Chains A and B, each alone.
Chain A
């Protein structure tokens, strides 16, 4: 049985090690205000269920799963009057509105962004977990509550769909080209 001091120590460790990743996860999917709320809510759940949070390396995927649910709870309100505009401008994968978080996009990046945005929401989320959160297929399966095989299938289809969208765009725009070398990442 863990003492309250142990729980506090564990929570502090999780908070220190993963808060940036959880906030980034939320900011990639929601407006700044919603992302902050979802991040706070995620760690609130962590605090309440600290004994159920798995140890590393499963901690972060577990936090993403909680954050996803928190964001989903917010999303349920999208039909509510007065909230839709904010969702329109931020939901999905748009950068947050804060100037400090806005990244300068190349023109061809918009083509890629739009292509990802047009994926089905579930496929989009899996692609984002794959590329932006850099999770393994098994970790994505944990976060999404799916089988590994289902994740593989979804990713395969999503990339096929992206390929069908992006290849014609590449052929008519000389500014769009596949990347040569990997940079950045999470």
Chain B
């Protein structure tokens, strides 16, 4: 089959082949909330005066805290490292595409950067029904307030706070850098940053809860290189992280659930995914 033939087949399924048929009756409405939101999201980039000022005010304290945390964590990590044999990834895993499609029980893998030229991936097994293929992982939205998710990602940008609108900055290039950025972004820390050997790699572990008033549309947390891979939190939401050094690549594993409202069976399925998760370089 030639590329031209494929192109024509794709053209045939264009849901709107002729845009001129669309009837547009409204002119753009320049409402205040939308204007504010757009201005924030489009204009509020690193390097702006506002952001530079925020960074200047925060910089020294955050930097000292970060250095202390990493130094201590590194020391503890060296002393406590675990050389447990690494599990093999589940065979015949299907690649997650982030297409928001339902996932049948089975083995899946997430390409951590969406780049076919690199091979780092996280493979895990989904045991139950109701999971959805989302960018960088899988998510289950149940009845009512239920929401559980597992993401295996690299991170491009982070926001310095999830509790006030800020602009994104480049994520650190090491697991320690990334761990520190997330650990100081306003999450209520439930289990402090600690060194681990997990999923076959060395790194750091953290559990945090999204405080009331934090998260939401104007206060995102991070974006990744996978197309549309990004994250806004909601309160209340519990997030467990592993920041791993996978042969020089910082990979973040993020398991999240709603404390008190995610059903036990969903949490069990999430735990089973973590139990089978293997990160391969």
CB neighbours of B145 from chain A (8 A): 81
Chain A residues within 8 Å of chain B by Cβ, number: 73
A40 at the interface (CB under 8 A from B): yes
- Write the nearest CB–CB distance from A33 to chain B, whole angstroms: 13
B-contacting residues, A80-100, CB 8 Å: 80-81, 84-85, 87-88, 91-96
Question: Which of A48, A75, A179 contacts B228, CB < 8 Å?
Answer: A75
Interface string of B7-32 (1 = CB under 8 A from A): 11111111111111010101111100
CB neighbours of B28 from chain A (8 A): 15, 39-40, 43-44, 47
| B9 engages A92 (CB within 8 Å) | no
A131 at the interface (CB under 8 A from B): yes
Among B34-42, B74-82, B268-276, the one that faces the other chain is B34-42
B165 at the interface (CB under 8 A from A): no
How long is the Cα–Cα vector from A165 to B251 in the complex, in angstroms? 30
| B24 engages A112 (CB within 8 Å) | no
- Write the nearest CB–CB distance from B248 to chain A, whole angstroms: 23
A-contacting residues, B89-138, CB 8 Å: 97-102, 111, 114, 116, 132, 134-135
Nearest residue, chain A, Cβ from B220: A76
- Write the nearest CB–CB distance from B133 to chain A, whole angstroms: 9
- Write the nearest CB–CB distance from A28 to chain B, whole angstroms: 6
Question: Which of B3, B6, B227 contacts A121, CB < 8 Å?
Answer: B227
How long is the Cα–Cα vector from A101 to B16 in the complex, in angstroms? 8
Looking at chain B's contact residues, the main secondary structure is loop
- Write the nearest CB–CB distance from B251 to chain A, whole angstroms: 18
A141 at the interface (CB under 8 A from B): no
CB neighbours of B9 from chain A (8 A): 112, 166, 178-179
B64 at the interface (CB under 8 A from A): no
How long is the Cα–Cα vector from A40 to B116 in the complex, in angstroms? 35
| B14 engages A79 (CB within 8 Å) | no
| A72 engages B228 (CB within 8 Å) | yes
A23 at the interface (CB under 8 A from B): yes
CB neighbours of A87 from chain B (8 A): 100
CB neighbours of B99 from chain A (8 A): 92, 117-118, 121, 124
Nearest residue, chain A, Cβ from B234: A80
How long is the Cα–Cα vector from A10 to B92 in the complex, in angstroms? 55
Nearest residue, chain A, Cβ from B15: A95
CB neighbours of B12 from chain A (8 A): 109, 112, 179, 183-184
| B19 engages A15 (CB within 8 Å) | no
CB neighbours of B34 from chain A (8 A): 40-41, 44
A-contacting residues, B173-210, CB 8 Å: none
- Write the nearest CB–CB distance from B165 to chain A, whole angstroms: 13
**List of 4 A-B pairs having minimum Cβ-Cβ separation, nearest first:** A24-B19, A95-B15, A121-B227, A178-B5
CB<8 Å pairs between A and B, sample of 7: A24-B16, A24-B19, A24-B22, A76-B230, A78-B134, A162-B10, A184-B14
B interface residues, Cβ below 8 angstroms from A? 1, 3, 5-20, 22, 24, 26-30, 34-35, 38-39, 41-42, 97-102, 111, 114, 116, 132, 134-135, 139, 141, 145, 147, 149, 217, 220, 223, 226-228, 230-234
